[in-house]
Amino acid sequence: MTGGLVHEGACGSVSQRMVPPTPLHETTSLSTLPIGALRGRLIFHTNELDEAREKVTALYTRHRLDFIGRDRRLDTYFYHIPLPRASVNCLGYGSDMIIEPGDLQSFFLIQTPVRGAMHAACGKQSIDSGPGLSSVLSPAVPVRMSWRANCWQVQVRLDRALIEQCLSNALERPLSEPVMFELGMDMRSPAGVSWWNTVKYVAEQAHLVADLPHATTVLRQLEHLLVNSLLYLQPHNYSDQLLKRERCIVPRHVKRAENYIADHYNESISIEDLAKHCGVSLRTLYRGFQEFRHLSPMQHLKTTRLDRVNRLLRAADPSDSVTRIALDAGFRQLGRFAVEYRRRFGECPSATLRNCS
């Protein structure tokens, strides 16, 4: 896995370091697309540099695209699922490339390498990105990238005006400065796994409904799901304000239930226990969670336990037991626990323990 440290440059500067060239013998093809809905969505394949630059420009923005090193063999594939003000894409160049769009201006671009490595610089931030670390490129600052020949990325393009509108609506006031996201997104964290699952879901649903009546309405809902997921999952310069705003409006009984779950997650807790502790009816408690957390109180309890197990596994010794950690977190049905864990984090618990150890 590629490292995930963000390197700060001088004020206003952009790192000039590039990913080393790929050995000529290394394969650049992608045998299986990471999102099934992208199959049949190939919009172009070219071996010509000018054509690749022109067609990517049409979907994104004008940019410098050139080779790194002496190998000038290009094998570019671009897959595309459109939404009204967003898109889910998959792109690979098949050669070591430098890409300089400058200021993205009208969109944000979230890139998840599913193979290979790349270096991205966005304003004063820069990262080396690989399958465990995505890049979140923000407009209003210079962007510069270098891709290895074997680099394939799933890219989510989100309209800048749409993100700013959704954030302004959530804060209930105009924005005072451009939205700037933290560049690196850890794809092994709960937030990263949630983002990837959301992208796959949106791509699959957009593919299914594209030709149905009223498809545009459904597609707009899907792109709002992407925008809100990014705003709440990935840190940015308005995150603290967004959190404070949310804390102000969440009902007292919902916050009290959350605090109780945080303190007693490893105990046997029923919905009746929560309602009694909060001093409200079952219906009021359930409605509060649905309205402000978009899940039930017991789903929140399960998520709290799963996240606790994930943190413990990531910090555990190889000799530790998944069963013991799960039991300590309050799980009693271990078979069901394994299914739910894999659904949330994209891998089985033993894989988390093994990989992080």
Q: What is the pLDDT of residues 286-335, one digit of tens each?
A: 999 988 887 899 999 999 999 899 889 988 888 889 999 999 999 999 99
| Residue 265, pLDDT above cutoff 90 | yes
Residue 55 shares a structural domain with residue 190? yes
Percent of the chain topping pLDDT 70: 90
Residue 49 shares a structural domain with residue 92? yes
pLDDT digits 0-9 by tens, 174-233: 888 999 999 999 999 999 999 999 999 999 999 999 889 889 999 999 999 999 999 999
- C-beta atoms surrounding 350 within 10 Å: 13
**What pLDDT does 83 receive?**
96
Indicate the residue among 199, 216, 241 that finishes a domain. 241
Residue 97 shares a structural domain with residue 131? yes
| Residue 165, pLDDT above cutoff 80 | yes
| Residue 278, pLDDT above cutoff 50 | yes
Residue 82 resides in a domain: yes
Residue 177 resides in a domain: yes
**What pLDDT does 12 receive?**
32
β-pairing, 118-122 vs 64-67, is unpaired
Indicate the residue among 192, 220, 241 that finishes a domain. 241
DSSP assigned state of 2: -
Q: Which residue has the tokens 């413990």?
A: 312
| Residue 352, pLDDT above cutoff 60 | yes
Q: Encode burial over 304-341: b for 16+ CB neighbours within 10 A, e otherwise.
A: bbbbbbbebbeebeeeeebeebbeebbbeeeeebbebb
pLDDT digits 0-9 by tens, 116-162: 999 999 999 999 999 999 999 999 899 999 999 999 999 999 999 99
Residue 67 resides in a domain: yes
| Residue 247, pLDDT above cutoff 80 | no
Contact criterion met (CB below 8 Å) for 187 and 112: yes
Residue 52 shares a structural domain with residue 198? yes
Give the integer Cα–Cα distance in Å for 269 and 289: 16
Which CATH number goes with the domain that contains 322? 1.10.10.60
Residue 9 resides in a domain: no
Which CATH number goes with the domain that contains 147? 2.60.120.10
**What pLDDT does 170 receive?**
87
Residue 99 resides in a domain: yes
Residues 259-267, mean pLDDT to the nearest whole number: 94
Residue 275 shares a structural domain with residue 229? no
Residue 246 resides in a domain: no
The residues, ordered by sequence, that sit 6+ positions from 163 with a Cβ below 8 Å of its Cβ are: 108, 179, 227, 230, 231
**What pLDDT does 9 receive?**
38
Mean of the per-residue pLDDT values of the chain:
88
User: pLDDT band at residue 30, thresholds of 50, 70 and 90?
Assistant: low
Residue 230 shares a structural domain with residue 261? no
pTM score, whole prediction: 0.68
| Residue 29, pLDDT above cutoff 90 | no
Residue 144 resides in a domain: yes
Residue 119 shares a structural domain with residue 233? yes
Residue 264 resides in a domain: yes
Number of domains in the chain: 2
Residue 285 shares a structural domain with residue 337? yes
Indicate the residue among 184, 219, 241 that finishes a domain. 241
Residue 177 shares a structural domain with residue 281? no
Residue 128 shares a structural domain with residue 234? yes
Q: Higher pLDDT residue, 236 or 295?
A: 236
**What pLDDT does 76 receive?**
95
Residue 224 shares a structural domain with residue 306? no
> Domain range spanning residue 132?
36-241
Nearest to 182 by CA among 127, 136, 114: 136
Residue 310 shares a structural domain with residue 223? no
pLDDT digits 0-9 by tens, 104-117: 989 999 999 999 99
**What pLDDT does 19 receive?**
36
The residues, ordered by sequence, that sit 6+ positions from 25 with a Cβ below 8 Å of its Cβ are: none
